[in-house]
Structure 1
Amino acid sequence: MYPELFKISLPNFFSGFLGDYFTVYSYGFFIVIGAISGVSYVTYESKKLFNLSFDKINTLFLLLLIAAIVGGKVFLIFEKPSYYLDHPDALLTGKGFVFYGSLLFTIPAMLLYFKKQHLPILPMLDIMAITTCIVHFFGRIGCFMAGCCHGIEWHGPLAVVYSDPSCLAPLHTSMHPTQLYSASMILSILITLLFIKKHKSFNGQLFLLYLMFYAIGRSIIETFRGDLSRGYVIDIYLSHSQFISLLVFMAALYFYFKINPGKKSIS
């Protein structure tokens, strides 16, 4: 696709230390768009419901950013432990993140922050469920443009072929557009959560439904993924992400029935 959106020629006095061009990369661009959209949603909802200050929202997103980067890199180690133990510098590049690692690290970070700020935990988690969908949707569009998280070889009507040498996907190979499958799945979850939001039965419902919906969708899409470096728990049959999806689904299902209108919820 287009890993580089565009380049801007720089004045001569910048070229010595910045190069001749300033390059805007697709992945980073869509991540920024997603982050801005996510912050905007949290700001609107939290101010409306809890009068949360913009400074606290900024602090929350900074905390989540750090947790997401650390978690994404930690789970990346699990994919090829021996390689990253021998080449720890490879973890410092901008390439290579595991979404589940980021998600599972940001959840406790959110809980600690909400508790410290004396914010209602479950209502805030519902807000963050929709926020995560917004950010993740744009992130998957960025993945599609960059070629990461690509699919297995396929010659169907929706197949995509990457030809730009800067792409992370195999070149000149017809593949499943798994990034677009993921983006469509996340958008569907987002629309569903926005609908349920108006009729939800208890606080925390949106967050738990998000976890379950995503776990199911991710497990299905995994069967079409072609970036085999992510590794398997059971070779060929059960990938790391599918195994984590199973654990996430079971945990979310447990809390879904534990936290309900007939029982006292966490606040």
Structure 2
Amino acid sequence: MFPVLFSIGPLTLHTYGVLLALGAALGLWLLTHLAKKQGLDPDRVMSLSLWLLISGLVGSRLLFVLLEPAQFKSAPWRVLAIWEGGLVFYGGVAAALVVGLILMRRWRLPVLTLLDCAAPALALGQALGRFGCFSAGCCYGRVWEGGWCAVTFSDPLTLAPRDLPLHPTQLYTAGALLIILGVLLLLWRHRRFAGQIFFAYGFLHGIARVIIETFRADWRGEPFLGFTPTGWFALGLAVVSAAALIYLQRKNAAKQGG
């Protein structure tokens, strides 16, 4: 595809970096928009969002480096080159959750309400980030000979295998995230309890990722018992989110009944 938008002398503008930044900006906008509707302090929410963004980028890059250390042995400085691709979503989620929970507790913000606001924003930012993956060629799919929507990467700078028909797993993920975004925004209108949106996101995203992972070839670490590390993370996210939804729903029903 188009890993590089343009180059001027030593300056190179990578498509992945541009779409990642655009996804972050739109995600922050949606988060603050939803938080304002909940009557939360927009300045405090923006401060929290920036901390979440930074910790998420650091966590996602750190997990990628831990899973793929061989890529950085000859050029350790490339650990910082996130604009070239190479982020593991679940590492970012873990880091952002830890930092976010600490700050929300310190600033006395409603945790589950803020997580509900963050879920649609996260889905939107991720979707644009996956289009960035498609442009860079990372997170590519398995070879798909004769596939009706197979894609072939030919740019010399792509991270995907060149001149082979591949499953467009980046687009599968982006499409799934946009559908999840629509479901979450629709569910928002009928939200019955705090945490419902966030854990619905976790369940839907986990299931979608487990399915899409079966078509992917650019793994983050070697498979174990039939699942890649990302597949295991996704499965765990779906199970935990489903359990949380059941618990919160029962708690809410008991509260209303009492």
Q: So what's the TM-score if we normalise by structure 1?
A: 0.86
From 48, 59, 74, the equivalent of 2:47 is 59
Q: Which has the larger radius of gyration?
A: 1
- Contact 1:80–1:231 (CA<8 Å) still a contact in 2? no
> For residues 229 and 73 of structure 1, what CA distance do their matches in structure 2 show?
12
Q: So what's the TM-score if we normalise by structure 2?
A: 0.88
2:56 is equivalent to residue 68 of structure 1: yes
Q: What's the counterpart of residue 115 of structure 1?
A: 105
**How many residues are matched?**
249
Unaligned runs of 5+ in 1: 10-19
Q: What's the counterpart of residue 39 of structure 2?
A: 50
- Contact 1:39–1:57 (CA<8 Å) still a contact in 2? no
Q: What's the counterpart of residue 167 of structure 1?
A: 158
Which structure 2 residues correspond to residues 207-226 of structure 1 after superposition, within 5 A? Answer: 207-226=198-217
190-199 vs 92-101, greater mean Cα deviation: 92-101
Aligned-pair RMSD on alpha carbons?
Answer: 2.1
> For residues 30 and 209 of structure 1, what CA distance do their matches in structure 2 show?
25
- Contact 1:84–1:91 (CA<8 Å) still a contact in 2? no
Q: 1:159-206, CA deviations, whole angstroms, 9 ceiling, x for partnerless residues?
A: 111111111101111100000000000001000011111112211001
2:95 is equivalent to residue 124 of structure 1: no
Cα distance, 1:202–1:145 mapped onto 2, change above 3 Å: same
| Distance apart, 1:49 and its partner CA | 1.9
Unaligned runs of 5+ in 2: none
- Contact 2:151–2:168 (CA<8 Å) still a contact in 1? yes
Q: What's the counterpart of residue 3 of structure 1?
A: 3
> For residues 85 and 168 of structure 1, what CA distance do their matches in structure 2 show?
15
Q: What's the counterpart of residue 91 of structure 1?
A: 79
> For residues 228 and 128 of structure 1, what CA distance do their matches in structure 2 show?
27
2:30 is equivalent to residue 41 of structure 1: yes
| Distance apart, 1:222 and its partner CA | 0.5
Q: What's the counterpart of residue 246 of structure 2?
A: 257
> For residues 220 and 66 of structure 1, what CA distance do their matches in structure 2 show?
29
| Distance apart, 1:24 and its partner CA | 2.3
> For residues 229 and 103 of structure 1, what CA distance do their matches in structure 2 show?
16
Report runs of 4+ in structure 1 exceeding 4 Å deviation: 84-88
Identity of aligned residues (%): 33
> For residues 204 and 171 of structure 1, what CA distance do their matches in structure 2 show?
43
2:157 is equivalent to residue 157 of structure 1: no
Q: Aligned partner of 2:142: which letter?
A: I
